[in-house]
């Protein structure tokens, strides 16, 4: 497969030209700077399936694509022949309010799903970065989570069934559309966060939740980040906790804390009252309830931390660190100490009770390898992990963005070999180069 | 009715049990070796002693050559290494309360009982997790965690006996999973011994590390992918307040309407359980609760949370029950009174046992809104076969448990009961549901798998099996229809005979 032209010639025998993105636009479909030889937007599952069967035979490197927003996740691909989009597929939303379930096409934008569900008084209580504009398939495949995961869990807790197309074009289903199901092995979980390396998600069955009637956010300023972590850990462990509990520590050391309460009027009122008691006794600045507009802005900011202003030629690096909640204070301290010693400006958002925080580092791309190595050493001491969630393309070349996937790596490799034997999906983008 | 799976898997790894049969001839040697690993007192092999291990909660039986009771991961690993080197099937077993035959040594061989690995190794209140061995009894974990104001959410009805290892293997549910999910939502990490004896930890004490969610694939794998020797599970804070309501209706439709109303109102109770007229009469006869004789359905609804939330929700639910035509509503907040309300539901299975010597408990699941239709069809099947069918169901999540009552001593009744059960499962599938909501496929429903999954779907599951356990020695003959792997399990000499002893 020498030139894009020959490649496209071959493709044109397979698929109608209207499904192909014009050559002039290929550049805007690049994956970490890799311009694909072709971009196809199939309109039916059959087209997609036939295309993949051919790709499998010819061992073309395929990158599945939803809205394209999270193509910057993962290692830079070793090879990209074909980008295959899911947004051209016919999308349907089959929502059954009385069953609290919905079946949705993978290429459906999340905001469309949410507005559909809202009509029946429901929602899917997840808030991944850039959530609204991304597709369901992309959200499942990347499993990036937002602040609400503290109270509501992640998309893993809502996924009931999947239809997936494998590398050779075979369409399979797993799970079902009922909220309790133990019929056969659960393969659905394997696709969550797998970055499309085991198959392209076509359709998902999800459990939905009632929309909360009331939504309030408390803001509190802390003098020190340590007080913030301690207080929020305590708050999170109380039965009167919120559904999202986040701290923002600015590069200037300013510590802002936000707790979001969702539920019925009486429940929110009771929990807010308790939170006020707890916070008032542990901080000097009195906490206050912020306006709906302020709350919306601040939760957007937290949800999209690092994503909203990302540029592949920019300078920001976002590192996500996870560990047991009780260790989070110690890990953050080491990160701050390291950055202070080296005079790296660092900004973080932390959710102590979720056991996760994200760091935004500026001006470190030339020393990214050392920084990441040091972060990983520290987190490993506390049993945690460090993932480079976002980094400029140039800086990614020399690092493995994922870090240690744990002891299961051999089984993961074996699984990948079984499910994608020719290794056509997302070559090299996943953990340990899978 | 059933389409047998005719596909042959393309695999060069074959289960070479049949040709050799070497281990059967060398039972004596095998037992010596097993005793060398776990000690003489931890191996059972006398035929009389083995009898009880031929059963779980299903009708089928299978007698192992030996039952082994390891006390450490190392011993489990050695047993599996030995079994692997001799091509001996191994069936992991917890308390044996499973209802689909998951713990039956269908192919003989070694039954690996994990009940002596029953330590709660750590409860970490700050991170709300527990590190446990697989033989820990479900309720014991919640009892131990209660000292920290925590509990383990999955609560299968057998929770006084069943083990965490078994819960993980079967992805157990329970009445309260409507709000808190099933076992898979609460398992964070597993120490697993693979069929070759290798030991590894998968997952962490928290979620989020990158990599395939292998723990997610192991939960519910019915002992076919590996043996769990430790688990880290998450614990939930005990709710500040719990309230339970019992509402009596003149028929199932009215009770179902009440359930629909509650769901539509945006409340998520922790449990919504229903009993039909036959069950109510049996319970009343056995326990004398004073249920009205003409009651057609009883609904039990439980809500938990903060005191304010619970009071608020209960008020609404009471109103919705009356609006839907409830004849009587009782509710309770004190734990002793709540237990009284639950007693009938919890004792239902035992009470139904008084109606006839045997029963077949079917597990099916449908979209919740189809429940009324499906129950109607279930009752038609009962009429068609002349078999009483009682219904106890998790109405909130569409999980029904028709219980077919019969007397095995009457010729042909057992076969009729099994046939009626099969029809019910088909009805569930046709209504958009599936084969099993919480009991598992095991032996019971393996031939039904093609009702839900086609060849490609099953072949993908087999690939997961090949990833973890290519030889097929771990819990062979379960979950997949005969012929869906290179080993044709029908050829295996099944040593037990169905019908021994009585059904639970």
Q: How far is A255 from chain B (nearest CA, A)?
A: 23
Min Cα distance A382 → chain B (Å) is 12
CB contact under 8 A, A326 and B126: yes
pLDDT attached to residue A2: 52
The CATH number of whichever domain residue A152 belongs to comes to 3.30.465.10
Please tell me which of the candidates B184, B239, B306 has its beta carbon nearest to residue A186.
Answer: B184
CATH number of the domain within which A341 lies: 3.30.70.600
Distance from CA of A62 to the nearest CA of B (A): 19
Does residue A169 share a domain with residue A222? no
Contact A130, A71 (CB under 8 A): no
Instruction: Read off the pLDDT band of B352 (50, 70, 90).
Output: confident
Q: What pLDDT does B25 receive?
A: 64
Q: Which chain A residues have a beta carbon less than 8 Å from that of B481?
A: none
Shared-domain flag, residues A114 and A190: yes
Is pLDDT at B354 greater than 70 in this prediction?
Answer: yes
Q: Choose among B200, B217, B309: nearest Cβ to A190.
A: B217
Residue B428 · residue B365 · CB < 8 Å: yes
**pLDDT in the model for residue B9:** 36
A322 domain-assigned: yes
Confidence check: pLDDT of B501 > 50: no
Mean pLDDT of B67-84: 98
Most A CBs within 10 A among B102, B208, B452, hence the mutation to make, goes to B208
Residue B7: is its pLDDT beyond 90? Answer: no
The DSSP result for A281-343, as a single string, is HH-SSPPEEPPHHHHHHHHHHHHTTTTTT--TTS-EEEEEEE--GGGHHHHHHHHHHHHHHHT
Residue B375 and residue B391 in contact, taking contact as beta carbons nearer than 8 Å:
yes
C-alpha distance from residue B165 to each of B42, B58, B230, B414 (Å): 19, 19, 8, 31
Residue B237 to residue A239, Cβ atoms within 8 A: yes
Is there a single domain that holds both residue A219 and residue A117? Answer: no
Give the Cα separation of A54 and A44 in Å (integer). Answer: 16
Q: Is B175 helix (H, G, I), strand (E, B) or coil?
A: coil
Q: Give whole-number Cα distances, B271 to A124, B285, B345, in Å.
A: 21, 25, 12
Radius of gyration of chain A (CA): 22
pLDDT band at B425 (very low <50, low <70, confident <90, very high): very high
| Residue pLDDT, tens place only, A118-167 | 999 999 999 999 999 999 999 999 999 999 999 999 999 999 999 999 99
B178 contacts in chain A (CB < 8 Å):
179
In-domain check, residue A401:
no
A221 and A184 both lie in a single domain = no
CB B100 within 8 A of CB B477: no
* B481–chain A nearest CA distance, Å: 11
Domain boundary among A154, A178, A210: A210
Does a structural domain hold residue A275? yes
Closest among A322, A315, A313, A286 to A144, alpha carbons compared = A322
Which domains, from first to last, does chain B contain?
Answer: 17-115+445-491 (3.30.43.10), 120-237 (3.30.465.10), 241-346 (3.30.70.3450), 356-430 (3.30.70.2740)
Residue numbers in chain A where pLDDT is lower than 70: 1-2
> How many folded domains does chain A comprise?
4
Q: pLDDT tens digits for A163-183?
A: 999 999 999 999 999 999 999
Contact between B388 and B382 (Cβ < 8 Å): yes
Q: Range of A71's domain?
A: 4-88+421-433
Q: Does residue A363 sit in the same domain as residue A349?
A: yes
Above pLDDT 70, what percent of chain B? Answer: 91
Out of A165, A182, A210, pick the residue that ends a domain: A210
pLDDT band at B57; cut points 50, 70, 90: confident
Contact criterion met (CB below 8 Å) for A246 and A258: yes
- pLDDT tens digits, one per residue of B185-229: 999 999 999 999 999 999 999 999 999 999 999 999 999 999 999
d(CA A127, CA A147): 7
**Do residues A154 and A205 share a domain?**
yes
Chain A interface disruption, residue of B148, B170, B189, B206, most A CBs within 10 A: B206
**B217 vs A98: CB contact, 8 Å cut-off?**
no
Task: Please report whether residue A311 resides in a domain.
Answer: no
Chain A, nearest residue to B266 by Cα: A210
Residue whose tokens read 């999910």? B181
CA A304/CA A202 separation, integer angstroms:
26
A416 in a structural domain: no
Give pLDDT, residue B13.
34
Handedness of CA B71, B74, B76, B81 (dihedral sign): negative
| Residue B59 pLDDT class (50, 70, 90 cuts) | confident
The pLDDT, as a whole number, for residue B18 is: 40
Instruction: Let me know if B409 is exposed, middle or buried by CB neighbors in 10 A (0-12, 13-18, 19+).
Output: exposed
Q: What is the mean pLDDT of chain B?
A: 90
Does position B421 have pLDDT exceeding 60, yes or no?
yes
Q: Which of A278, A303, A328 is the endpoint of a domain?
A: A303
How far A251 CA lies from chain B's nearest CA (Å)? 26
Residue A101 and residue A75 share a domain: no
**pLDDT tens string A330-346:** 999 999 999 999 999 99
pLDDT in tens, A279-304: 998 888 899 999 999 999 999 999 99
With contacts defined as CB-CB under 8 Å, which chain A residues touch B456? 170-172
Residues of B in contact with A170 (CB under 8 A): 456
Asked if residue B43 lies in contact with residue B69, where contact means CB atoms within 8 angstroms, the answer is: yes
pLDDT interval class at B22 (50, 70, 90): low
pLDDT at B94 over 90: yes
What count of other Cβ atoms lies within 10 Å of the Cβ of residue B206?
24
Quote the CA–CA distance of B62 and B65 in Å, as a whole number. Answer: 10
Complex ipTM value:
0.97
Q: Would the CB atoms of A385 and B210 count as touching at under 8 Å?
A: yes
> pLDDT of B312-330, one tens digit each?
999 999 999 999 999 999 9
Residues A366 and A381 in one domain: yes
Q: Contact, B445 vs B425, CB < 8 A?
A: yes
Contacts of B196 in chain A (CB under 8 A): none
B181, B208, B435 member nearest A322 (Cβ)? B208
What is the distance in angstroms between the CA of the first residue and the CA of the last residue of chain A? 22
Choose the closest CB to B367 out of A96, A419, A431. Answer: A96
Indicate whether A39 and A138 sit together in one domain. no
Q: How far is B356 from chain A (nearest CA, A)?
A: 29
Q: Is A277 found in the same domain as A380?
A: no
Q: What is the pLDDT of residue A311?
A: 87
Q: How far is A318 from chain B (nearest CA, A)?
A: 15
Alpha carbons B341 and B310: distance in angstroms, whole number:
17
Chain B: residue nearest A213 by CA?
Answer: B266
> What residues of chain B lie within 8 A of the CB of A271, using their CB?
306
Q: Within a domain: residue A413?
A: no
Same domain, A67 and A140: no
Cβ of A263 and B456 within 8 Å?
Answer: no
Tens digits of residue pLDDT in A268-281: 999 999 999 999 98
CATH number reported for the structural domain that contains residue A239 in this entry: 3.30.70.260
Residues B207 and A56: their CA atoms lie apart, in Å, by 33
- Closest chain B CA to residue A188: B217
The answer on A227 and A147 residing in a single domain is no
């Amino acid at each position: 497969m020498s030139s894009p032209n020959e490649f496209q010639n071959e493709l044109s025998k397979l698929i109608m030209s209207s499904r192909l993105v014009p050559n002039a636009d290929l550049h805007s479909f690049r994956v970490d700077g890799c311009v694909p030889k072709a971009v196809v937007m199939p309109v039916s599952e059959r087209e997609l399936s036939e295309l993949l069967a051919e790709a499998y035979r010819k061992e073309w490197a395929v990158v599945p694509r939803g809205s394209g927003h999270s193509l910057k996740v993962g290692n830079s691909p070793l090879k990209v022949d074909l980008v295959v989009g899911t947004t051209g597929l016919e999308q349907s939303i089959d929502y059954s309010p009385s069953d609290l379930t919905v079946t949705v096409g993978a290429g459906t934008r999340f905001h469309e799903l949410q507005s559909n569900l809202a009509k029946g008084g429901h929602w899917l209580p997840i808030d991944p970065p850039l959530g609204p504009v991304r597709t369901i398939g992309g959200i499942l495949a990347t499993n990036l989570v937002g602040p609400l995961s503290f109270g509501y869990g992640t998309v893993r807790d809502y996924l009931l069934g999947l239809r997936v197309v494998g590398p050779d074009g075979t369409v399979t289903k797993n799970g079902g559309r009922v909220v309790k199901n133990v019929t056969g092995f659960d393969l659905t979980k394997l696709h969550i966060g797998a970055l499309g390396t085991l198959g392209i998600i076509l359709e998902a069955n999800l459990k939905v939740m009632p929309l909360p009637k009331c939504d309030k956010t408390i803001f509190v300023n802390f003098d020190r980040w340590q007080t913030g972590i301690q207080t929020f850990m305590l708050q999170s462990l109380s039965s009167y906790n919120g559904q999202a509990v986040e701290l923002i520590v600015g590069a200037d050391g300013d510590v802002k804390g936000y707790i979001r309460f969702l539920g019925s009027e009486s429940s929110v009122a009771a929990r807010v009252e308790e939170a006020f008691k707890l916070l008032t006794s542990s901080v000097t600045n009195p906490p206050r309830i912020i306006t709906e507009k302020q709350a919306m802005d601040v939760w957007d900011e937290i949800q999209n931390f690092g994503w909203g202003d990302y540029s592949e030629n920019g300078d920001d690096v976002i590192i996500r660190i996870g560990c047991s909640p009780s260790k989070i204070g110690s890990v953050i301290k080491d990160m701050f100490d390291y950055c202070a010693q080296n005079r790296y400006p660092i900004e973080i958002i932390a959710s102590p009770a979720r056991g996760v925080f994200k760091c935004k580092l500026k001006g470190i791309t030339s020393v990214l390898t050392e920084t990441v190595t040091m972060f990983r050493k520290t987190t490993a001491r506390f049993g945690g992990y460090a993932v480079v969630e976002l980094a400029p393309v140039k800086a990614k070349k020399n690092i493995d963005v994922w870090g240690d996937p744990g002891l299961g790596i051999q089984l993961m490799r074996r699984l990948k070999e079984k499910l994608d034997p020719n290794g056509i999906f997302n070559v090299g983008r996943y953990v340990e180069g899978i | 009715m059933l389409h047998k799976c005719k596909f042959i898997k393309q695999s060069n790894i074959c289960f070479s049990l049949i040709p050799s049969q070497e281990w059967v001839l060398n039972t004596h040697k095998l037992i010596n070796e097993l005793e060398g690993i776990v000690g003489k007192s931890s191996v059972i092999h006398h035929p009389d002693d083995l009898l009880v291990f031929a059963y779980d909660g299903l009708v089928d039986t299978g007698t192992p050559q030996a039952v082994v009771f390891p006390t450490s991961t190392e011993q489990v690993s050695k047993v599996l290494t030995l079994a692997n080197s001799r091509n001996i099937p191994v069936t992991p077993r917890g308390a044996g309360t499973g209802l689909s035959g998951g713990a039956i040594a269908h192919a003989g061989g070694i039954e690996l009982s994990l009940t002596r690995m029953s330590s709660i190794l750590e409860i970490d209140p700050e991170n709300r997790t527990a590190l446990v061995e697989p033989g820990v009894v479900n309720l014991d974990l919640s009892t131990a965690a209660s000292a920290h104001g925590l509990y383990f959410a999955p609560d299968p009805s057998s929770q006084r006996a069943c083990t965490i290892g078994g819960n993980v293997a079967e992805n157990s549910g329970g009445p309260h999973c409507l709000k808190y999910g099933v076992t898979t939502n609460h398992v964070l990490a597993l120490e697993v011994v693979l069929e070759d004896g290798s030991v590894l930890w998968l997952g962490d004490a928290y979620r989020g590390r990158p990599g395939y969610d292998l723990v997610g694939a192991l939960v519910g794998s019915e002992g076919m992918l590996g043996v769990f020797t430790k688990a880290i599970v998450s614990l939930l804070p005990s709710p500040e307040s719990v309230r339970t309501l019992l509402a009596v209706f003149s028929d199932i439709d009215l009770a179902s309407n009440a359930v629909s109303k509650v769901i539509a109102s945006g409340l998520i109770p922790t449990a919504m359980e229903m009993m039909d007229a036959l069950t109510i009469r049996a319970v009343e006869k056995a326990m004398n609760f004073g249920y009205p004789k003409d009651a057609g359905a009883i609904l039990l609804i439980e809500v938990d949370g903060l005191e304010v939330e619970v009071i608020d929700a209960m008020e609404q639910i009471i109103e919705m029950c009356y609006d839907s035509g409830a004849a009587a509503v009782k509710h309770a907040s004190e734990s002793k009174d709540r237990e009284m309300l639950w007693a009938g539901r919890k004792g239902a299975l035992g009470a139904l046992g008084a109606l006839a010597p045997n029963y077949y408990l079917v597990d099916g699941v449908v979209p919740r809104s189809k429940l009324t239709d499906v129950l109607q069809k279930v009752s038609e099947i009962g009429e068609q076969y002349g078999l009483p069918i009682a219904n106890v169901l998790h109405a909130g999540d569409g999980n029904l448990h028709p219980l077919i009552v019969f007397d095995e001593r009457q010729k042909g009744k057992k076969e009729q009961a099994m046939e009626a059960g099969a029809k019910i499962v088909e009805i569930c599938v046709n209504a958009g549901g599936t084969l099993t909501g919480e009991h598992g496929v095991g032996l019971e429903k393996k031939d039904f798998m093609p009702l839900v999954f086609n060849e490609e779907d099953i072949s993908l599951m087999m690939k997961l099996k090949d990833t973890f356990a290519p030889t097929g020695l771990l819990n062979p003959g379960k979950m997949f229809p005969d012929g869906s792997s290179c080993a044709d399990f029908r050829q295996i000499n099944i040593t037990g005979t169905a019908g021994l002893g009585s059904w639970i």
